[in-house]
């Protein structure tokens, strides 16, 4: 077993375990922290795939941004520590079916994509400059549309909140 595959399995265990912790934790704060660990582990997997920029984005946006927002909301609520009942059977069944279905389709798609990919290229190639050229060259229109959509969403959220505060 090479060191890389050892790293992969360690990350895999970390991601899977923290994923389960996210779903199964009774304490909401632990669930959110499990989510943070899952996202960090995924960033590690990105690094193993030589996607250094993507890994940095993952940590900055998802761990440093979104998880912090979730934690912020959870910490403000007094219900975090309240003991919650186990989900009833119907919900448990529906949840299990949804999870299994999603997993099945994603796994099938992942295997299909993996077969079409070219064989691994030896050595580490930095991706940042190339990504930048693609985003501001070939894919500049989708990139700009995405940023406009995000700005509209942000302004819309502020407007809705404002109406609620005034009304």
Residue 113 Cβ, how far from another protein at the closest point, in Å?
A: 25
128 binds another protein (CB under 8 A): yes
Rounded Cα distance between 8 and 45, Å, is 7
Residue 29 near another protein by CB under 8 A: yes
Query: How far apart (Å, rounded) are the C-alpha atoms in residues 107 and 164?
Result: 43
SS3 for 161? helix
Of 24, 65, 136, 140, which lies in the binding site for another protein, with binding defined by CB under 8 A?
Answer: 65
With a CB cutoff of 8 Å and minimum separation 6, the contacts of 71 are 29, 32, 33
DSSP class of residue 61 equals I
Q: How far is the CB of 11 from another protein (least distance, A)?
A: 15
| Residue ranges in contact with another protein by CB under 8 A | 2-4, 29-30, 33, 36, 40, 52-53, 56-57, 59-60, 63-65, 67-69, 71-72, 75-76, 126-129
């Amino acid at each position: 077993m090479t060191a890389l595959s050892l790293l992969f399995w360690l990350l895999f265990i970390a991601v899977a375990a923290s994923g389960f912790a996210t779903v199964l934790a009774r304490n909401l704060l632990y669930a959110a922290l499990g989510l943070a660990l899952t996202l960090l582990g995924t960033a590690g997997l990105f690094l193993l795939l030589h996607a250094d920029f993507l890994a940095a984005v993952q940590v900055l946006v998802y761990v440093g941004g979104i998880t912090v927002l979730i934690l912020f909301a959870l910490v403000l609520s007094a219900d975090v520590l309240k003991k919650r009942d186990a989900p009833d059977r119907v919900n448990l069944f529906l949840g299990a079916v949804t999870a299994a279905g999603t997993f099945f389709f994603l796994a099938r798609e992942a295997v299909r994509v993996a077969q079409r990919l070219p064989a691994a290229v030896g050595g580490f190639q930095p991706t940042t400059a190339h990504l930048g050229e693609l985003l501001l060259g070939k894919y500049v229109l989708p990139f700009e549309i995405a940023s406009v959509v995000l700005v509209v969403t942000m302004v819309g959220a502020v407007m809705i909140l404002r109406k609620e505060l005034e009304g």
